[in-house]
Amino acid sequence: MLLCPLDYRYGRKEIKTIFSEENRLLTQLKIEAALARAHAKLGNIPKESAMEITKKADLKYVSNERVKQIEAETKHDVMSVVKALSEQCGEAGKYVHLGATSNDIIDTASAVQIKEALDLLDKDLDKLIATLAKMAKKHRKTLMVGRTHGQFAIPTTFGFKIAGYLSEVMRHKERLAEMRSRICVGKMSGAIGTGAALGPKVLEIQDMVMADLGLGVEEAATQIVCRDRYAELVSFLAITCTSCERYSTEIRNLQRSEIMEVAEAFDAKKQVGSSTMAQKRNPVISENICGLSRIVRAFVTPALEDMVLWHERDLTNSSAERFILPHVMVLSDEILVKMEQVFSGLVVYEKNMLRNIESANGMIMAEPVMMALVSKGIGRQDAHEIVRSSSMKAEETGKSFKDMLLKDKQVAKLIKKEELEKVMDPRNYIGVAPELTDKVVEKAKIVLNKK
């Protein structure tokens, strides 16, 4: 019986494989093998024994079924793996897990999984960056109205809006790179982290194992890798996914029937928008991203609470992390992939963007008019009041903002109709939006070329 939606609805095979039950066991077996090899290199155990342990540290020899069978008796997950591996290794089995504690295996296995998952997420970010850069460049001068408080503000360009998203995603890529060394960390220092059972060469053993696995070392472990690392990871993923929710929310708003400036791609031949309202073309992927992002954010609190353990450790974090790590990694990948799909297929209705600008009846050009009056010698506050009162009159009478301005004696005296029309042309009031967009796009090229 399938219960979790990750099993039947969400998540790509690539990342779900990393956090699968089978791969979890295989990763733990690899770590036991790496420990045996480190012992052998230092002369602590026979090389032949390490070779045998390495050979048998594979799902061909150690099955999930056998591990579960032993766990049903021992009530201990890691000891079940140790016993299942040991019984396959013959005489060499006595060296399995030598000097280690459970979380040497558990936390190091988690670090390996996280490392592999972050590699996928990094590629997801690259693909999203490339798609956003292409869209920003294409629409660097595509005129649209900017909105604040849900109201018309002043003109902007669609490319500049996308450039803002692009810049944010590139920051997420920077964050991922910066935190890798803090997150992808394991330990091989035994109970309480002192390394006593591993002997005088414990630091060499730990360095060898982590180098073998491509991981960093927890400098001063308790019995576990310190959970501020996991809290940082989950917080990073929550921030990244919340950014995607922000973009998706904007797309959903801009796809509203009365706005309709952009829309998700829709397969008109096959796709169904509603089971009863057959005309519907809903932004379902963007809505899905928003919903899943909330789930990722919800794991931040338990990840923070898992930092607070009794003394050198307790088990209150263990059960929570079995949910947290797979879910946040799988869902983050799902969200980033879907976000790229939304943008790569996004339909941009430039004519509707112009239509909505025109529907403002000139009101969105209040600021440039104010600035033009200031340039003619009127004080800024006085100019503001002239523009404000004219806009109120236009609102009340239903006449154009421009007509109300021309009826104002001060405006008529200082600005001719032709000049006012030029001032009120939205194309002349997008500032350096295209140039700023170009800069962000160029930065994206540099970021992607560093790969």
Q: Which residues are catalytic?
A: 149, 274
Length of the chain: 451
347 backbone dihedrals φ, ψ, rounded to 5°: -95, 125
The whole-angstrom distance between residue 373's C-alpha and the CA centroid of its chain comes to: 46
Amino acid at 98: L
Output the CA–CA distances (angstroms, integers) from residue 195 to 38, 101, 220, 259, in the order listed: 14, 10, 11, 64
Pairing mode, if any, of strands 151-157 and 262-263? unpaired
DSSP classification of residue 424: T
State the amino acid at position 4 in one-letter form.
C
DSSP state of 63: -
Copy the structure tokens of residue 104.
């040497």
Backbone angles phi, psi at 144, to 5 degrees: -150, 165
**Which candidate, 331, 398, 358, 377, places its Cα nearest to that of 10?**
331
Two tokens at 220? 């001063």
Rounded-to-integer distance, Cα 316 and Cα 221, Å: 17
User: What is the residue type of 280?
Assistant: K
Q: Which residue has the tokens 């003394």?
A: 311
Nearest to 122 by CA among 206, 65, 63, 178: 178
Name which of 192, 205, 213 is nearest 103 in CA terms. Answer: 192
Does residue 216 sit in helix, strand or coil?
A: strand
Rounded Cα distance between 31 and 15, Å, is: 20
